[in-house]
Amino acid sequence: MPNKRPITSEDLFKISNVGEAQISPCNGKFVFVKTTIDEDQEYRSHLHFQRFDETSSVQWTFGKVRDHSPCFSPDGKKLAFVSNRSGKSQIWVISTEGGEPQQVTQSKNGASNPVWAPCGTQLLFKTSLKLDQDESVFDQEEKKKEKKKSEPLVVNRLKYKSDGAGFHNETYQQLALINIETNEITELTSGRFSYEPSSWSPDGKSIALSANLTDDADYQIVSDLYLLNVETKELTLLTDHNGVYTNPTWSPDGKTIACFGNEREYLGATINQIYTIDIHTKKKKCITETWDVHITDAAISDMRSGHPNPGPIWSNDGKTLYFTGSENGNTSLYAIDENHEITPIFAEEGHVYGYTFDEDRKFAIIGLSDASNPGDLYKIVLGEKKKTRLTYINEAFLSEVHLSIPEPITAKASDGWEVHGWVMKPHGFEEGKKYPMILEIHGGPHAMYANSFFHELQLLAAQGYVVLYTNPRGSHGYGQKFVNACRGDYGGKDYEDLMAAVDFVLENFDYIDQDRLGVTGGSYGGFMTNWIVGHTNRFKAAVTQRSISNWTSFYGVSDIGYFFTKWEIGACFQEDPEKLWYHSPLRYVKNIETPLLILHGENDYRCPIEQAEQLYIALKHQKKDTMFVRFPESNHELSRSGPPHLRIERLNHIVNWFNEKL
C-alpha cells in the first residue's frame, strides 16, 4: 500500500511475541505470555488472561520482569509460573481470582518447569545443583555477598559447556516437589546426571521424564525415558539406550506412554517419529514409520526461539494423539488415530509454533505465524475446518508498515532434485526496473525456512533488495532422504542446490540484476556463505554470521564439535583430519575475492568466535576487502534472542554492508 512505510531494524522494538497459551480447566478463559522489548531495550514477559468470548486480554503480571511457563492447577483456581522478579528465576503461584503472586521456591540456582500433580497440592519442578559443594534444593537463595575473587574452572567432563548455559561447572539438573499448602520440599533425584520432567501419571504416583543415565553419558548422545515412582524414588527404564526420546505423555488410562523420538539411524539428520510404549511390557512401537514427515516444529524465524512443546496430546478416549509436523515449508497440526491414520487438524499455509488443548479435547489454541504476521493465537474446534482469531497482538504495528509477501518457487538441481524456496520483491517495486538480490541461507542445516514472519528478510526487502531464501538438501520438511542428503557432502550438492535456485530466479524474474548479487547466512548458513565465496565470484558482497570456517579446530572448541563433525562431515579429527580440512572454507580462503563482512558473538560456544578470527586474519593478511564485528554478551542465538540493542546493531551492519557493496 502506498501509504505504508518500509519496515526498519528499529521496528524490532515494536513487535510483540505471543505464545505459551494454556486453557483453564474451567474452559471459559485462557492465559498466554506476551513478550515485548521495553524502553530500556530489555525483554519483558507478562501473563495475560482472556475470555473466549472477548477479543481483548487483561494483563495479570507487571514490572520489569520475565514471567513465563504458566500452568493451571487441576481445579483451575491457581496458576503456577516462572518469574525472575526476585532475582533468579523461581516458581510463583497466583490465584486465578486475582491478588498478588506468591513465590513458592527459593532455590539457590533458580527453578523452572513447573508441572502440577493431579492432586493439585504439589508442584514438580527442576533446579540446577552443584555437586562439589554438596548443594541441596532445600538451600535458600544466597544473600548478596562481597565479590569473590576469581577461581579456576576444573574440567573433568567431555561435555563441559553449552551455548547459552556457559560452563557447566559440575552442575546437574535435578527434580523436586513442593507442597503448595505446607511448603514442604521433596528431592526426587540427585547425582551426576540431569533430568527433564514431563508429565504425571493420572493416579499421581509416577512421573515420566527423560534423561541420559548411561555409564558413559558424556560419550553417548542418547535420551531415554524413565518412570519415577514418587514415593520410593525408584526409576524404571522404558527405552533401551538406542535413541533420543523426549516429551513423554500418559494415556488417560495410565497404561501407555506416547513420546517423540528417533533411533538415530541417520544420526542428527534423523526425522522425529511418534512412539508408544506399554509401561508394563516396555514394548515400544513407532506409529508414524510409514509417514515421511518430520514430527515437531522445524521452522526457523528470528521472532522466536525455543518455544516449548507440550508433546503428543492424547484424546480423552486414548484413541487419538495430536501433534505438529513440518512439511513443505509449513508446520501444521495433525492427529493420528488407533489405526495409525494421520489426518490434518489445521494445515493451512503457515507456521504453527505452539498448541494446547482444552480438558475435554474439543478444541485447541494454536500459535500461528505467517509471512504477514509475527504471530497470534487462534481457536480450532476439532472437526470444523475453520479458525477463530483470539488475539491481535501486533495490529497497530502491522497497520503502518509495508510487508513483502513471498512468492514460492521450485528449482531443479543438476541431478533433478527439487529445491523449494521463496522470492520477496523489494519495497516500492516498479515493473521494468532492475534490483539487486540477496540469497539468505538458513542454519542447522537440519531446519526449515517456512511460511513464517522473518524480520530480517522483510528488512532487506524494505531496503530495496529482492530476497531469495530456499530449503536446500539437508533441510527438514521434504522427507528423510532429503534431510540426510548433505551429510558427508557439505559444500557439494547442497551448494549446487543453492546455485540452482539462484539460476532459476535469474532466468524467470527479469527484475533481478545478475551483476548485483549478495549472500548471507548464519551457523550452517555462515559455513555455506564462506564456502560460496571461496568457490565462485558471482556474488558481489557477502555477510557471514556465527559461521564455521575450520572443521579441524571446530572439533575441539565447539560444545558439540566432538560428535557433530563425525555426524555431519563424516570424520573426526583423529580418524581423517584431511576430510575435515577438505570441507573447511578456510582451505579455500586464497580464492575469496568477494567483499566479506564477518559477524560473530563473543560468547558463542556452538560456533566459537575463533572460527571468525581465523577467517578474518587469513583474509586481512592477504589485504582482502573484509571487516570483522564482534558482539559482546552474545551467544549463538544473537539474531533471535540476543540483547535487543545488539540485534539492531547486527541488522544495521548487514544493511550497511550490502548498501555499500551492492
pLDDT computed for residue 1 by the predictor: 47
Tell whether the model's pLDDT for residue 145 goes beyond 70.
no
> 641 lies in a domain?
yes
Rounded to 5 degrees, what angle do the CA atoms 263, 265, 270 make?
A: 85
**Domain housing 313:** 293-393
Question: Do 382 and 409 sit in the same domain of this protein?
Answer: no
> CA-to-CA distance for 624 and 596, rounded, in angstroms?
9
**The domain spanning residue 350 has which CATH number?**
2.120.10.30
Average pLDDT score over residue span 20-45: 93
- For residues 626 and 657, state if they share a domain: yes
CATH code where residue 519 lies = 3.40.50.1820
- What is the per-residue pLDDT across 483-507, written as a single tens digit (0 to 9) for each? 999 999 999 999 999 999 999 999 9
Of 393, 428, 454, which residue is a domain's last? Answer: 393
- Of the three residues 368, 393, 418, the one that is the final residue of a domain is 393
Rounded mean pLDDT of the chain?
94
Q: Identify whether residues 470 and 511 lie together within a single domain.
A: yes
Q: Is the pLDDT of residue 658 over 50?
A: yes
Give the number of other Cβ atoms within 10 Å of residue 103's Cβ. Answer: 14
Please check whether residues 384 and 427 belong to one and the same domain.
no
Summarize pLDDT for 167-205 with one digit per residue, the tens. 988 889 999 999 999 999 999 999 989 999 999 999 999
Domain count, the chain: 2
Look at the block and give the residue holding cell 566432538: 562
- Verify that 444 and 376 share a domain, yes or no: no
Give the separation between CA 23 and CA 467, rounded to whole angstroms: 39
385 plus 424 within the same structural domain = no
504 and 614 within one domain: yes
Average pLDDT for 551-561: 96
pLDDT band at 103; cut points 50, 70, 90 = very high
* 521 within a domain of the structure (yes/no): yes
Instruction: Report the Cα 332 to chain-centroid distance in Å.
Output: 16
Given CA atoms 619, 625, 631, 634 in this order, what sign does their dihedral have? negative
Among 364, 393, 422, give the residue marking a domain's end: 393
Q: Which pLDDT score, from 0 to 100, does residue 216 have?
A: 87
Task: Measure the CA–CA gap between 537 and 502, rounded to whole angstroms.
Answer: 14
Q: Phi/psi at 569 (nearest 5 deg)?
A: -90, -25
Q: Is the pLDDT of residue 131 over 70?
A: yes
Question: Does 98 reside within a domain?
Answer: no
Which of 150-154, 221-225, 353-357, 590-594 shows the lowest per-residue confidence on average (mean pLDDT)? Answer: 150-154
pLDDT at 132 over 70: no
Whether 497 and 642 map to the same domain: the answer is: yes
Quick one: 459 and 355 in the same domain? Answer: no
More confident site: 179 or 141 = 179
In a domain? residue 344: yes
Q: What percent of the chain has pLDDT over 90?
A: 89
Domain annotation covers residue 192: no
Instruction: Residue 34: name the closest of 390, 410, 537 by CA.
Output: 390
pLDDT at 77: 94
DSSP line for 71-112 = EE-TTSSEEEEEEEEESEEEEEEEETT----EE----TT-EE
pLDDT for 28 beyond 70 = yes
pLDDT tens-place string over residues 362-371: 999 999 999 9
CA distance 265 to 277: 20
Q: Which element (helix H / strand E) includes 129?
A: strand 122-130
Q: Which residues pair with 256 in a beta bridge?
A: 278
Is the confidence at residue 454, as pLDDT, over 60? yes
Examine residue 326 and state whether it is found in any structural domain, yes or no: yes
Is residue 25 domain-resident?
no
3 state SS for 410-432: EEECCCCCEEEEEEECCCCCCCC
Q: Which helix (H) or strand (E) holds 544?
A: strand 541-545
pLDDT in tens, 309-354: 999 999 999 999 999 999 999 999 999 999 999 999 999 999 999 9
Average pLDDT over residues 409-417: 96
> Are both 340 and 427 inside the same structural domain?
no
- Do the domain assignments include residue 434? yes
Q: Active-site residues: which are they?
A: 523, 636
pLDDT at 97: 86
* Claim to verify: residue 528 and residue 631 sit in the same structural domain: yes
pLDDT tier, 295 (very low <50, low <70, confident <90, very high otherwise): very high
Burial (CB count <10 Å: 0-12, 13-18, 19+), residue 146? exposed
480 lies in the same domain as 626: yes
- Number of Cβ within 10 Å of residue 129's Cβ equals 24
